[in-house]
Amino acid sequence: MQELINKVKNLGYETIQKIDETTIRANHKEVYVYVKKVEDEQLKPDLITSITYDAMGTDPMSTYVWITNGTNNSYILVEEEKAISEIPPVIKGEEKFNFGKRQLTERDIWSIHKYQELQEKFDGIHEMIYGMKDHVNNSNDAIDEFCKLIFMEVFRLNHPGYILRGGELEGKRYDDIFRYENIEKAEDKNKVIQEIREAFKIVKNHEDYVSTLDDGSKSAIFSADEYVKLENPNIYTSVLKTLQDLGPIKVEGVERPGTLLDLTGDVAGRVFDVLLRGKFENKGGMGIYLTPRQVTEAAAEIVVYDLTKDGAGKLIGIDPKTGYPTFKVGDLCCGSAGFLIKMLQEIKNHLLTKLGGNTKHYEEVFELMKEHSFIGADNSPGMVLKARLNMAMNGAVKCPIFQTRNSLMTENLVPETFDAIITNPPFSKTGISKEIKKGNTKIDNLEGIEIITKYSEDIDEDGQNKMNPDKLSLGSKPDSKGKWKQVNSIDPAVLFIDRNLQLLKKGGLLMIVIPDGILSNSGDKYVREYIMGKKNSVTGEFEGGKAILKAVISLPTETFGLSGAGAKTSLLYLKKKEHPGEKQGPVFMAVVDEVGFTVKQNVEIQLGDDHNDLLKIVEVYKKGVPEDVE
């Protein structure tokens, strides 16, 4: 520990308080650093969050956390629960982070203490469900079944005294059925379980959890035929006891049983996120995998910075006709809502922590935003379930995330209505094709034909691309004479660029993960020109194009190593042109050598924040792009 003490003193935090053999707290005036030495080989998110909550509970609250295993390090800005690239020296720290201290309430302290307990219990429950093989075939099935029971508990807490309507449970109190005590004392436990499963069918699509999409259609969390598959009473008893028996909580001097609704901040959401990321089985190729948190955090921070650097006006506007917020952020390939969660957290922090003035107004706007401003879509019902519950655990129970047959073709979203889109679409060189070839046999792929035709809607009869900002064109490409013709096959990532630009308002922001081939292959030059326009050889300026290129951040191959794709990728950051004549400015370019983890034997090995180049890249971006950078 002496080496750590010397390092923190060299940063200017000269007063040292020893807490135990592995923990010290150092400070300079009002700035405190909580330093923890751990034996863990990896600095995993659950470990970092647990120690951050320990630091949050110190008096006064610590400003920073420094976690190290002697080789790797993680640094956290405690009040925002956000990773930073380093612990700032005293002068820099006082100058840059001179913010007011958040005062912890009794509920905050109780919630912090519950984090580690719930995280371990959730992990154990997943292992139990998966291990018993009670109508689950894999880890993701176990997550889905656990999600359904979490939903039922959230429903119980938000609807006290609810009377069930319909079927054999007509007139019964929901609370009398969905309690672990009822299972424990029942002579016929299987009957109680059957009643719980029937109750799920009644409450799963309650109007309080049905969101409304742009076109007025409704989106429930669960499909009409979804049901709880679990049947083992022991599983139900363990799950319900974990969710319902959280021990006592004292609020304003009065002690009562605590519930999930008593968890403050993002504690419940973080517990759920650890479960998802720790237990989710990634599927390669065109399958499903979760975008690493290091990428979602960096991308969201950059986008929110640009949305708010000139004030909060874009976030807090209200439509006078509907009374709803005008701000919208989307992800058409939302998976478990990783990007949307980070956007929600960044915006919440900006509105409720960073801004002064009428905080009550910002709180009211944010409550509306949780219901209307974060829009997601995915073609996997299982991922939509995880996304909706993930958002619900972060307080957004009615956010409009919906299941669609194909995100490229959904008609539920209106062009030019989004302020920002942040996404990681599927990519495969021939992912969408007009034909399916097997040996010498060719079969028309009607789905592919429909998509490619739809994405050629802005090509006229003479083969000219009209470049309307609310239309689609990249289902076609120009031939050697400049005449645009439909392609036979195309990478879906190209079409998602087109679709997302269509959905953005003029001036809207798109942050998208793409394969590097789109940025460099000669065959994709037309895509780059569609985005930026063609470069005038005389003036050096780009002419035409639908967007302004703001940044390209190259990611290392291990970023999506778990996907099995192995493709080199980048974050492409665009702004939809506000008018056709808008000029291309300087472009921020960065290369990420390390992303905070490596992949070995299909497992992410966490390396710590000092191995995450994205943290420093975000800081440099926010300082501004020099005029001579191209």
pLDDT digits (tens, 9 = 90+) for 572-581: 999 999 999 9
Contact of 462 with 550, CB cutoff 8 Å: no
Return the biggest CA–CA distance within the chain.
87
The helix (run of H) or strand (run of E) holding residue 403 is: strand 401-403
581 contacts 615 by C-beta, under 8 angstroms = no
* Distance of alpha carbon 278 from alpha carbon 420, whole angstroms: 29
Fold observed for domain 2-96: Trna Endonuclease; Chain: A, domain 1 (3.40.1350)
Better-scored residue on pLDDT, 513 or 251? 513
Asked if residue 627 has pLDDT above 50, the reply is no
Mean pLDDT, to the nearest integer, of 585-610?
Answer: 86
Q: Tens of pLDDT along 502-554?
A: 999 999 999 999 999 999 999 999 999 999 999 998 988 999 999 999 999 99
Of the pLDDT bands very low, low, confident and very high (cuts 50, 70, 90), residue 95 is very low
In the CATH hierarchy, which fold is given to the domain comprising 293-429+491-623?
Rossmann fold (3.40.50)
CA angle, residues 616, 620, 621, in degrees to nearest 5: 115
Query: pLDDT-based confidence at 102, cuts 50/70/90?
Result: low
pLDDT band at 602 (very low <50, low <70, confident <90, very high): low
Given a contact cutoff of 8 angstroms between Cβ atoms, the answer to whether 257 and 249 are in contact is yes
Q: Is the pLDDT of residue 99 over 60?
A: no
Task: Sort 530 into a burial class: Cβ within 10 Å, 0-12 / 13-18 / 19+.
Answer: buried
Residue 63 one-letter amino acid: T
Structure confidence at residue 6 (pLDDT):
92
SS (H, E, C) 248-313: EEEECCEEEECCHHHCCCCHHHHHHHHHHHHHCCCCCCCCCCCCCHHHHHHHHHHHHHHHHCCCCH
Q: What is the mean pLDDT of the chain?
A: 88
The pTM score is 0.86
**Which two structure tokens, joined as six digits, stand for 312?**
């909060």
- Rounded to 5 degrees, φ, ψ at 430 are -120, 40
**2-96 and 293-429+491-623 in the same fold:** no
User: Per-residue pLDDT averaged across 110-138, rounded?
Assistant: 87
404 vs 435: CA distance, rounded Å: 23
For residue 331, which phi and psi values (nearest 5 degrees)? -150, 110
Strands 73-77 and 64-68: antiparallel
Q: Round to whole Å and give the CA distance between 417 and 213.
A: 12
Choice between 456 and 113, residue whose per-residue pLDDT is larger:
456
Report CA Rg, the chain. 26
Packing angle, helices 139-158 and 189-203, rounded to 10: 80
pLDDT, position 564: 61
Phi and psi based region of residue 516 (left: phi greater than 0; alpha: psi -120 to 50; beta: remaining)? alpha
Dump pLDDT digits (tens) for 275-329.
Answer: 776 666 655 433 456 788 899 999 999 999 999 999 888 999 999 998 999 999 9
C-alpha distances in Å from residue 415, one per residue of 190, 258, 326, 503, 506: 51, 45, 14, 4, 10
Instruction: Pick the closest to residue 615 from 344, 355, 308, 293 (CA basis).
Output: 293
Domain ranges of the chain: 2-96, 106-279, 293-429+491-623, 432-490
DSSP 8-state secondary structure symbol assigned to residue 100: P
Give the model confidence (pLDDT) of 442-500 as tens digits. Answer: 899 999 999 999 999 999 999 999 999 999 999 999 999 999 999 999 999 999 999 99
The token pair at 610 is 């000092």
pLDDT of residue 487: 95
pLDDT bucket at 67, cuts 50 / 70 / 90: very high
Mean pLDDT for the stretch of residues 332-337: 91
Distance CA 114, CA 121 (A): 10
d(CA 93, CA 245) in angstroms, rounded, equals 42
Q: What confidence category does residue 97 fall into, taking pLDDT thresholds of 50, 70 and 90? A: very low
